[in-house]
Structure 1
Amino acid sequence: MLEIRDVNKKYGTKQVLTDVSFNVLPERMTGFVGGNGAGKTTTMRIILGVLSSDSGTVTLGGSKLTPADRRLFGYMPEERGLYPKMKVEEQLVYLARLHGFTSAAAKRNATNLLEQLGLGERANSPVESLSLGNQQRAQIAAALVHDPEVLILDEPFSGLDPMAVDVVVGVLKDRAVAGAPVLFSSHQLDIVERLCDDLVIIADGTVRANGSRESIRASHSTLRYELISSGDAGWLRSVPGVSVIEFDGGYALFDVDTEQTAQAVLRNAIGRGDVATFAPQHPSLAQIFKEVIR
């Protein structure tokens, strides 16, 4: 487990991180979400040892990280950092060799990754000749080629079309299933919601929400229901304990004060005609994000 505890950081007089604490668990994907300037990249750089914190600790398996530990990390920066005129596979082999792989093992890893990421046919192309989306895939391959034990990825889905996102998601999930803690940031909340097991929301350098995706949803859920029926649902407006959010003919979205009120609404709706849908509604990650950063 990668553990970040009470990390603080200032740039001059500006406090950019305040007591940042969260865990990145093995075999799980942790989404790291926040607006521009929220502190995501600074936190990642402190984890990687690129920046030092003013206070706080970063540990792996309960032990303070050493330079040798960090060599086992795979990092993908938001800014592309590959050599533009170098061939894609040649560059991956070079990076793996820097991590101590034999030439044969480095070549094997590079070839396998390029195939998994859909870049097999571009292995001998210079990086600068690739589309921006394919350059992003190559950057991801560079973070993975040395078989890292921990993955830290800053905006890995930027510039990828939906099909490419699915390919990358599959590769990252395989790494998580194999035991790696995976921390990734993204502005694409729909992808984070679909992909992550755990979630950290940061704003103004402070963690505002932290936990499993399900627990965060549950803690921010209201007693909100959707009703789709054959009759006019306007009668809901006069029911005590019901607050109608949206209404259109037989469709209604509404909050209730108790579960008992919800059950009473269902009985009433069934008595008035056919009920196609009566279901609780959970907030999306985008809705939770807007709520917690206020």
Structure 2
Amino acid sequence: MLKLENISKTFGDLRAVVDESWELADGRILGLIGQNGAGKSTTFKMILNFIEADSGQITWNGRKIDSQVMNEIGFLPEERGLYPDVKIGEQILYFAELHGKSRQEIRPKMQQWMDKFDVKGKLTDKVKKLSKGNQQKVQLITALIHEPKLIILDEPFSGLDPVNAQILLDIIVEQKKNGAAIIYSSHDMNNVSAIADDVIMLNRGHVVLNGETGQVRQSFGRTMIYLESPATKAELSAIPGVVSVEDYAGGLQVTLSDPKVGRQVFELATKNGYITAFDQQPPTLEQIFKMKIGQDAIDEAEKEELTHE
């Protein structure tokens, strides 16, 4: 279990992380979300001992993270760090050796991992021959091939197309089934919703949400409705308790102030009989992110994601 207790970090006048506390159990996936500058990367760097916390304590299975514990950790940094003129196989072996593994132990596993990630290239190719996406997949292999018990992935989906993003999602879930504790940050809330057992939202270094992903969403109530109906925006907006009605994915998205208003929306939407869609759900993580942090933060995160592509 990874445990953070009252961690704080200040850089000059900037309070990057403020009294941060949470736990991550073995065999669970944690999605860490927040706008740029929220404290995600600083949190990772403190876990990995790249920087020292000003106060608080970080432990892995009850002990401080030292060089021996580091051999049990796999880390993908946001800033990728492969050597372009080194062969893929040599690079994988080098990073495995840094984590205490022998070449004899790792060499038989390398092609299996290349196949698992569907890397378009050979172990004897130099990294610079690969596309950007395939280079990223090799970097992911270097973070996982030593079979770490704690996996930390900083923006692992940046630059991956939907097919390769799904490959990575499947591999993350596979590592969870093998008992690893996994934490990753992402600007894509859909990726977090898809596989994260738990979610933590940071805002200006503070933890503003912490819990099981489903429970966090349910705590906001079933205030979002997607429907396909002849009912007009004006008719729906006239219902007391309807906050907004917007075009969405070929239908309408209705936001409620109270989940109970959903019954009136349903009655209006179905007044002429059968309709093709009515789905009342709690807000998505992206919608919760907007509520807690604001649209400006979403826009900033999307711009940052574009810079990585």
Q: For the Cα contact (< 8 Å) 2:99–2:146, is it kept in 1? A: yes
Q: For the Cα contact (< 8 Å) 1:230–1:273, is it kept in 2? A: no
Number of the residue aligned with 2:104:
104
Q: 1:220 to 1:88 in 2, by over 3 A?
A: same
Per-residue deviation, residues 265-285 of structure 1 (Å, max 9, x unmatched): 534654543343333133222
Q: 1:120 to 1:101 in 2, by over 3 A?
A: farther
Task: Structure 1: state its 5+ residue gaps.
Answer: none
Written as runs of structure 1 = structure 2, the 5 A alignment for 1:196-275 is 196-221=196-221, 223-230=223-230, 235-243=235-243, 245-246=245-246, 253-255=253-255, 261-267=261-267, 269-275=269-275
Tell me the TM-score normalized by structure 2. 0.84
Number of the residue aligned with 1:192:
192
How far 1:32 moved relative to its partner? Answer: 1.2
How far 1:195 moved relative to its partner? Answer: 2.9
How far 1:191 moved relative to its partner? Answer: 2.1
Q: Does 1:156 align with 2:153?
A: no
What is the one-letter code of the residue matched to 2:98?
L
Q: Does 1:140 align with 2:140?
A: yes
How far 1:82 moved relative to its partner? Answer: 2.0
Number of the residue aligned with 1:75:
75
How far 1:256 moved relative to its partner? Answer: 5.1
Number of the residue aligned with 2:169:
169
Q: For the Cα contact (< 8 Å) 1:111–1:120, is it kept in 2? A: no
Number of the residue aligned with 1:280:
280
How far 1:72 moved relative to its partner? Answer: 0.8
SS in 1 for 2:184: strand
Per-residue deviation, residues 204-243 of structure 1 (Å, max 9, x unmatched): 1111111121112112345343443356675545545555
Percent identity of paired positions between Structure 1 and Structure 2: 33
Q: For the Cα contact (< 8 Å) 1:199–1:213, is it kept in 2? A: yes
What is the one-letter code of the residue matched to 2:134?
N
Number of the residue aligned with 1:31:
31
Number of the residue aligned with 2:87:
87
Q: Which moved more, 1:216-225 or 1:259-268?
A: 259-268
Task: Structure 2: state its 5+ residue gaps.
Answer: 295-309
Tell me the TM-score normalized by structure 1. 0.88
Cα RMSD for the two superposed structures: 2.6
Which protein has the larger Cα radius of gyration, Structure 1 or Structure 2?
1
What is the one-letter code of the residue matched to 1:15?
R
Q: Does 1:114 align with 2:75?
A: no
Number of the residue aligned with 2:129:
129
Number of the residue aligned with 2:305:
none
Q: For the Cα contact (< 8 Å) 2:76–2:156, is it kept in 1? A: yes
